[in-house]
A = this chain, B = another copy of it.
Amino acid sequence: MMKSNVYIALLHYPVHNRNGDVVTTAVTNLDIHDIARAARTYGVKGFYIITPLTQQQEFAAKIVNHWKRGYGAHYNPWRKAAFDITDVAESLENAVEDIARRERSDTMTIVATGASLKNNCITCEDLVERISHDRGSYLLLFGTGWGIADTILESADVCIDPIRGPSDYNHLSVRSAVSIILDRLFGKR
Protein backbone atom coordinates (compact mmCIF):
# COMPACT_ATOMS: atom_id res chain seq x y z
CA MET A 1 0.00 0.00 0.00
CA MET A 2 1.36 3.38 -0.99
CA LYS A 3 1.41 6.49 1.09
CA SER A 4 0.62 9.66 -0.75
CA ASN A 5 4.02 11.31 -0.39
CA VAL A 6 5.93 10.07 -3.41
CA TYR A 7 7.27 12.61 -5.89
CA ILE A 8 9.21 12.22 -9.13
CA ALA A 9 11.57 14.54 -11.00
CA LEU A 10 12.77 14.50 -14.60
CA LEU A 11 16.28 15.95 -14.74
CA HIS A 12 17.46 17.83 -17.84
CA TYR A 13 20.59 18.89 -15.92
CA PRO A 14 23.03 17.59 -14.77
CA VAL A 15 22.92 14.57 -17.09
CA HIS A 16 25.41 12.82 -19.34
CA ASN A 17 25.47 12.95 -23.12
CA ARG A 18 26.62 9.99 -25.22
CA ASN A 19 30.26 10.90 -24.66
CA GLY A 20 29.91 11.06 -20.88
CA ASP A 21 30.07 14.87 -20.69
CA VAL A 22 27.74 16.65 -18.28
CA VAL A 23 25.17 18.61 -20.30
CA THR A 24 21.71 20.16 -20.23
CA THR A 25 19.21 18.36 -22.49
CA ALA A 26 16.18 19.91 -24.17
CA VAL A 27 12.72 19.59 -22.63
CA THR A 28 10.45 17.56 -24.92
CA ASN A 29 6.69 17.78 -25.11
CA LEU A 30 6.09 14.03 -25.14
CA ASP A 31 8.27 13.35 -22.09
CA ILE A 32 6.11 15.74 -20.13
CA HIS A 33 2.82 14.23 -21.33
CA ASP A 34 3.79 10.59 -20.93
CA ILE A 35 5.39 11.02 -17.54
CA ALA A 36 2.57 13.22 -16.18
CA ARG A 37 0.03 10.57 -17.23
CA ALA A 38 2.05 7.75 -15.67
CA ALA A 39 2.61 9.75 -12.48
CA ARG A 40 -1.12 10.43 -12.17
CA THR A 41 -1.96 6.77 -12.85
CA TYR A 42 0.27 5.55 -10.05
CA GLY A 43 -0.74 8.11 -7.43
CA VAL A 44 2.43 10.20 -7.48
CA LYS A 45 1.87 13.45 -5.56
CA GLY A 46 4.01 15.71 -7.72
CA PHE A 47 6.07 15.59 -10.92
CA TYR A 48 8.87 18.17 -11.33
CA ILE A 49 10.36 19.01 -14.73
CA ILE A 50 13.83 20.27 -13.89
CA THR A 51 15.87 22.54 -16.15
CA PRO A 52 18.20 25.43 -15.30
CA LEU A 53 17.56 27.23 -18.63
CA THR A 54 15.04 30.06 -18.41
CA GLN A 55 13.77 29.59 -21.97
CA GLN A 56 13.29 25.87 -21.39
CA GLN A 57 11.46 26.57 -18.12
CA GLU A 58 9.16 28.91 -20.03
CA PHE A 59 8.59 26.30 -22.76
CA ALA A 60 7.77 23.60 -20.19
CA ALA A 61 5.54 25.95 -18.19
CA LYS A 62 3.65 26.90 -21.36
CA ILE A 63 2.81 23.23 -22.02
CA VAL A 64 1.93 22.53 -18.40
CA ASN A 65 -0.30 25.60 -18.08
CA HIS A 66 -2.08 24.94 -21.38
CA TRP A 67 -3.33 21.63 -19.95
CA LYS A 68 -3.77 22.82 -16.37
CA ARG A 69 -5.63 26.05 -16.98
CA GLY A 70 -5.73 26.86 -20.68
CA TYR A 71 -7.78 25.48 -23.57
CA GLY A 72 -6.41 21.98 -22.93
CA ALA A 73 -8.01 21.79 -19.49
CA HIS A 74 -11.43 22.11 -21.12
CA TYR A 75 -10.59 19.96 -24.16
CA ASN A 76 -9.27 17.00 -22.15
CA PRO A 77 -10.06 16.86 -18.40
CA TRP A 78 -8.07 13.63 -18.06
CA ARG A 79 -4.97 15.38 -19.30
CA LYS A 80 -5.68 18.28 -16.92
CA ALA A 81 -5.74 15.76 -14.05
CA ALA A 82 -2.25 14.60 -15.06
CA PHE A 83 -0.89 18.13 -15.40
CA ASP A 84 -2.41 19.24 -12.09
CA ILE A 85 0.42 17.37 -10.35
CA THR A 86 3.10 18.68 -12.78
CA ASP A 87 5.40 21.66 -12.17
CA VAL A 88 8.61 23.18 -13.47
CA ALA A 89 11.66 23.74 -11.23
CA GLU A 90 15.02 25.32 -12.01
CA SER A 91 17.05 22.83 -9.98
CA LEU A 92 16.81 19.66 -7.92
CA GLU A 93 17.40 21.80 -4.81
CA ASN A 94 14.37 23.93 -5.67
CA ALA A 95 12.20 20.84 -6.15
CA VAL A 96 13.40 19.45 -2.80
CA GLU A 97 12.60 22.77 -1.08
CA ASP A 98 9.18 22.87 -2.68
CA ILE A 99 8.37 19.34 -1.46
CA ALA A 100 9.61 20.19 2.07
CA ARG A 101 7.31 23.21 2.05
CA ARG A 102 4.32 21.17 0.82
CA GLU A 103 4.94 18.34 3.28
CA ARG A 104 5.91 20.70 6.13
CA SER A 105 8.85 18.39 6.72
CA ASP A 106 12.32 17.99 5.27
CA THR A 107 12.47 14.27 5.97
CA MET A 108 13.03 13.07 2.45
CA THR A 109 14.64 10.06 0.80
CA ILE A 110 16.14 10.78 -2.62
CA VAL A 111 16.04 7.76 -4.93
CA ALA A 112 18.13 7.63 -8.10
CA THR A 113 17.40 5.52 -11.18
CA GLY A 114 19.51 4.63 -14.20
CA ALA A 115 20.25 1.89 -16.71
CA SER A 116 23.81 1.24 -15.54
CA LEU A 117 23.72 1.78 -11.77
CA LYS A 118 25.65 -0.73 -9.73
CA ASN A 119 26.23 0.50 -6.17
CA ASN A 120 23.78 1.11 -3.35
CA CYS A 121 20.86 -0.35 -5.37
CA ILE A 122 17.75 -2.01 -4.01
CA THR A 123 14.83 -3.72 -5.76
CA CYS A 124 11.48 -2.00 -6.32
CA GLU A 125 9.99 -4.55 -3.92
CA ASP A 126 12.35 -3.45 -1.15
CA LEU A 127 11.75 0.21 -1.91
CA VAL A 128 7.97 -0.13 -1.74
CA GLU A 129 8.40 -1.91 1.60
CA ARG A 130 10.43 1.05 2.89
CA ILE A 131 7.90 3.55 1.56
CA SER A 132 5.04 1.71 3.22
CA HIS A 133 6.74 1.95 6.64
CA ASP A 134 8.01 5.51 6.37
CA ARG A 135 6.19 8.76 6.98
CA GLY A 136 8.79 10.87 5.20
CA SER A 137 8.51 11.80 1.54
CA TYR A 138 10.31 10.14 -1.35
CA LEU A 139 11.65 11.81 -4.48
CA LEU A 140 12.47 9.51 -7.41
CA LEU A 141 14.93 10.99 -9.92
CA PHE A 142 14.92 10.11 -13.62
CA GLY A 143 17.57 11.35 -16.03
CA THR A 144 17.20 12.38 -19.66
CA GLY A 145 20.04 12.01 -22.19
CA TRP A 146 22.47 9.24 -21.21
CA GLY A 147 21.49 9.36 -17.54
CA ILE A 148 21.90 11.28 -14.29
CA ALA A 149 25.34 12.81 -13.60
CA ASP A 150 27.57 11.25 -10.92
CA THR A 151 27.38 14.22 -8.54
CA ILE A 152 23.62 13.66 -8.17
CA LEU A 153 23.92 9.87 -8.04
CA GLU A 154 26.44 10.16 -5.20
CA SER A 155 24.18 12.43 -3.20
CA ALA A 156 21.13 10.15 -3.55
CA ASP A 157 20.15 8.09 -0.50
CA VAL A 158 19.47 4.95 -2.48
CA CYS A 159 19.28 3.68 -6.06
CA ILE A 160 16.81 1.36 -7.79
CA ASP A 161 18.19 -1.69 -9.60
CA PRO A 162 18.36 -1.08 -13.36
CA ILE A 163 15.37 -2.44 -15.28
CA ARG A 164 16.18 -5.73 -16.95
CA GLY A 165 14.34 -8.01 -19.31
CA PRO A 166 15.45 -11.48 -20.35
CA SER A 167 18.20 -10.07 -22.59
CA ASP A 168 21.20 -7.87 -21.73
CA TYR A 169 19.76 -5.00 -23.80
CA ASN A 170 18.90 -2.07 -21.52
CA HIS A 171 18.22 0.97 -23.65
CA LEU A 172 14.70 2.01 -22.74
CA SER A 173 13.44 5.55 -23.22
CA VAL A 174 13.08 7.56 -20.03
CA ARG A 175 9.32 7.55 -20.68
CA SER A 176 9.31 3.74 -20.61
CA ALA A 177 11.60 3.62 -17.57
CA VAL A 178 9.39 5.94 -15.50
CA SER A 179 6.28 3.93 -16.45
CA ILE A 180 7.88 0.58 -15.60
CA ILE A 181 9.36 1.68 -12.28
CA LEU A 182 6.11 3.29 -11.12
CA ASP A 183 4.25 0.11 -12.13
CA ARG A 184 6.73 -2.09 -10.27
CA LEU A 185 6.31 0.09 -7.18
CA PHE A 186 2.60 0.90 -7.21
CA GLY A 187 0.84 -1.15 -9.90
CA LYS A 188 -2.11 -3.36 -9.00
CA ARG A 189 -1.69 -6.85 -10.40
Contact partners of A171 in chain B: CB under 8 A: 37, 40-41, 78-79, 81-82
CA distance A64 to B175 in the complex (A): 20
A169 interface hit (Cβ, 8 Å) = yes
Q: Is the CB of B167 within 8 A of A183?
A: no
State which of B169, B182, B189 has its C-beta within 8 Å of the C-beta of A41. B169
User: Within the complex, what minimum Cβ distance (angstroms) separates A70 from chain B?
Assistant: 18
User: Within the complex, what minimum Cβ distance (angstroms) separates A140 from chain B?
Assistant: 14
How many subunits of this chain does the assembly comprise?
2
User: Within the complex, what minimum Cβ distance (angstroms) separates A5 from chain B?
Assistant: 13
Count A-side interface residues using an 8 Å CB cutoff. 39
Residues of A133-181 contacting chain B, CB below 8 A: 163-167, 169-173, 175-176, 179-180
CA distance A38 to B81 in the complex (A): 27
Given the known interface contacts A78-B169, A81-B169, A188-B166, the answer about A176 and B34 at a Cβ–Cβ threshold of 8 Å is yes
Q: Is the CB of B42 within 8 A of A166?
A: yes
User: Within the complex, what minimum Cβ distance (angstroms) separates A181 from chain B?
Assistant: 9
CA distance A165 to B20 in the complex (A): 35
User: Within the complex, what minimum Cβ distance (angstroms) separates A161 from chain B?
Assistant: 8
Residue interface bits A3-37, CB-to-B below 8 A is 1, else 0? 00000000000000000000000000010011001
Given the known interface contacts A172-B37, A173-B34, A175-B34, the answer about A166 and B186 at a Cβ–Cβ threshold of 8 Å is yes
A125 interface hit (Cβ, 8 Å) = yes
Given the known interface contacts A37-B173, A38-B172, A175-B173, the answer about A43 and B167 at a Cβ–Cβ threshold of 8 Å is yes
Could you list 17 further interchain pairs (A-B, Cβ under 8 angstroms) beyond the known A33-B173, A41-B167? A34-B173, A38-B173, A41-B163, A41-B164, A41-B165, A41-B169, A81-B169, A82-B171, A165-B183, A165-B186, A166-B186, A166-B188, A175-B175, A175-B176, A175-B179, A180-B187, A183-B184
